Chains A and B, each alone.
Chain A
Amino acid sequence: MRGSFLSSPWSLPLRTIGFIGWFVWQFIVTSLQVVTLIITPGRKPAPGIVSVKMDSLSDTELTILIALITITPDTLVIAVDREKGEMFVHGMFVEGDAEGLRVALRQTHDRLIAGLRRNPEIGDSKGVEL
C-alpha cells in the first residue's frame, strides 16, 4: 500500500503540499508562542543553544532547512559547519531540555526530506540539487 503510493507520480507533489501545510501551521503556532511570551508580564525566556548533526543533506536541502528553521521565530540558526555537517541552533523555549529541541529539529529534517525527495528513504537516495 505504502510502496504503491510512493511510486505514483502524484506522490511527490502531494507530499510537498502536505509539508508546506504542516510548516505554515508550525510557523503560526511558534509565532504566537513568542508573542505570548513577550506580552505576559514578568515571564522570562529560557533560551539555549544546541548543536545538531545534519549529515546526508545536499547543499540545496541544507540551505532550505536553515531558512525554515530561522523562519519559525522560536528557533534560529547561529552557525553552520559545512565540513562536519553540524549546525548550532538557538531556541527560545529550551528550558534546559537540549534533547527535546534536538528531537524537534530532527523531525523537521525528516519531514523536509519526505517533502522534497522523490524517494524519501533516507540514505537510499541522493539529495535534491538545483
Chain B
Amino acid sequence: MTPEIVSFIGSAFMVLGAFIIATAAIGLIKLPDVYTRTSAVGTAAGLGVSFMIIGVVVLDYSTLNLIKGIIAIIAQLITSAIGSFMLARASYMTGGKPVETTVPDELADQS
C-alpha cells in the first residue's frame, strides 16, 4: 500500500473516533437522565477511544505498537465497563431516579 492510502485510512479512523466522542458529548446534553447519559459515554469509551488507538497504530505502524494498541483497547474496554457499572450503581444507591419515560422500571417496582 502506498503511504498516501495508509495515511488516509489512519486519518479516517482518527476523525471517526473524534466524531464519536463529540457525539457522546452531545448526548450528555441531550439525553434526559444519568443512566442514558452513561450509555452515551459508553460509545465514546468503547468505539471512540478504540478508533483513535487504531488510528495511531495505522499512522505510526510497528509490531510493538500493534501489540501495545491491542492491549490498550482491551484494557480500555474492561476498565470502562467496570467504571460505568460502578457509576450507575453509585447513582442508583444515592437515589438517582431514572427519567419518567423509563417503561418498565422493574427496579422501582421491586423496592
Binding site for B on A (CB under 8 A): 27-28, 31-32, 34-35, 38-39, 44-51, 66-68, 70-79, 88, 90, 92, 94, 96, 98
Contact = CB atoms under 8 A, between A and B. Distances in A.
Interface of B: 20, 23-24, 26-27, 30-33, 35-36, 38-40, 42-43, 46-47, 77-78, 80-82, 84-85, 88-89, 92, 98-99, 101-108, 110
Contacts, number: 118
Contacts of B39: 34, 73-76, 90, 92
A77 B20 CA distance: 22
Given A38-B27, A50-B106, A96-B103, A71 B46 contact: yes
A67 B99 contact: no
Contacts of B33: 47
Contacts of B110: 51
B20 A48 contact: no
Nearest to A30: B43
A47 to B, nearest CB: 5
A86 to B, nearest CB: 9
